[in-house]
Amino acid sequence: MHKKVVIAGGGIGGLAAALACARQGLPVQLLERAAALSEVGAGIQIGPNVTRILQAWGLGDALAQVAAFPEQLQARDAQTGQVLGTLPLGERAQTRYGAPYATIHRADLQGLLQRAGQGAGVDLRLGQTVQGWQSSETALQVNTVEGLSLQASALIGADGVWSRVRQQLLGDAPARFTGHLAYRALVAQADLPAHLRSDQVTVWMGPRLHVVHYPVRCGQWLNCVAIVHGAKADPAQDWDQAGNNQALMQAMGAVGRDLHERLASVPAWRQWALHDRAPVSGAGDMVQGRVALLGDAAHPMRPYLAQGAGMAIEDAQALAQCLSAGNATVPAQLQAYAQARWARNARVQARAIRNGRIFHAQGAVALGRNLSMRLMGERVMDVPWLYGGGPPTDL
């Protein structure tokens, strides 16, 4: 049969995989359990390693119409307000890495991927949840809860941290609660006093907490994320729920006047309980036969390197390249994809965990962090191993 790819999950990873495969001429059916595509999240940061891929997919102009491109990343002490270090972005990122550093609302990124994918021929089926599959020597039969049955050469589980595809493929434990709670909000910059508006990425670091804010939607909105340690308010609640400003302030403890004013300017928060998994240990964690995992389904990670969406988009690029390369069997092509991706994903997962400890450090460790940032600034804030690399093969 002609090679056909079925993808479970219509988030950023699934949409990116669908677009990348369609650009390679592969028939793609994208199954999303929701009745309509929507994104309840707020903003994300996308480094040059990601914008480079989006540009190769022909999305550079569309990205420029909806994203912001901050000039710098600034780290500050959450208690004193002191600037600890600054990393220039803007022209420096473009010059050094060949692509810009961007900040974007999740819904805007999802929208441009969806439009491009459907323009490339992706068959999007809403209201369809993958229930399972049966394998033969030459194909898969993918079944949905709603009664749809599809023949496919490969099934890609891009259905997020609570992936049903992963559950059936690997049968491992659910993602683990990190003990961290994220409060997220979007605020119109026009509604803020002038001194609270911002065109840069700012990270505030303090004991058992950090806050990051940056512009989205061409700078018209400010995305704010505050992460604290704590228990779930509702043990059964793993995702989006209303956040309480008083609970956030209590969890923050004593923070400086500048940060307190910033947090108090936010009219309403949404709260997420953050979950992750241990770093990927090998290709078998991402692929078995004709079924592969991608993005959060494969390697959910903490947000302290701002690469969750980025790794999903990198996965998508590698998946499409492998599925269209040579005359190998589909299982061999998927195995090549996993071999190309697992170690890098594991490194990013591990680095994100490490960064969280550094961001939330107390006592002597926090003093050492602050001193090293003051002395070395760009050197400790930049991540060339992550952002670097030449232009990708045009997909």
Active site residues: 214
- Beta carbons within 8 Å of 226's beta carbon, 6+ residues apart: 182, 183, 209, 210, 211, 248, 252, 263, 269
- Beta carbons within 8 Å of 103's beta carbon, 6+ residues apart: 43, 44, 45, 46, 67, 68, 69, 70, 201, 214, 215, 216, 223
CA-to-CA dists, residue 325 to 26, 89, 121, 387, 390, angstroms = 12, 35, 20, 25, 20
Q: Which residues partner with 74 through β-bridges?
A: 86, 202
Q: Which of 226, 341, 363 is nearest to 286 (CA)?
A: 341
Is 5 in contact with 153 (CB distance < 8 Å)?
yes
In whole angstroms, what is the distance from residue 17 CA to residue 139 CA? Answer: 20
In whole angstroms, what is the distance from residue 305 CA to residue 291 CA? Answer: 28
- Beta carbons within 8 Å of 102's beta carbon, 6+ residues apart: 45, 46, 51, 63, 67, 68, 69
Is 85 in contact with 370 (CB distance < 8 Å)?
no
In whole angstroms, what is the distance from residue 391 CA to residue 56 CA? Answer: 8
Strands 209-216 and 72-77: unpaired
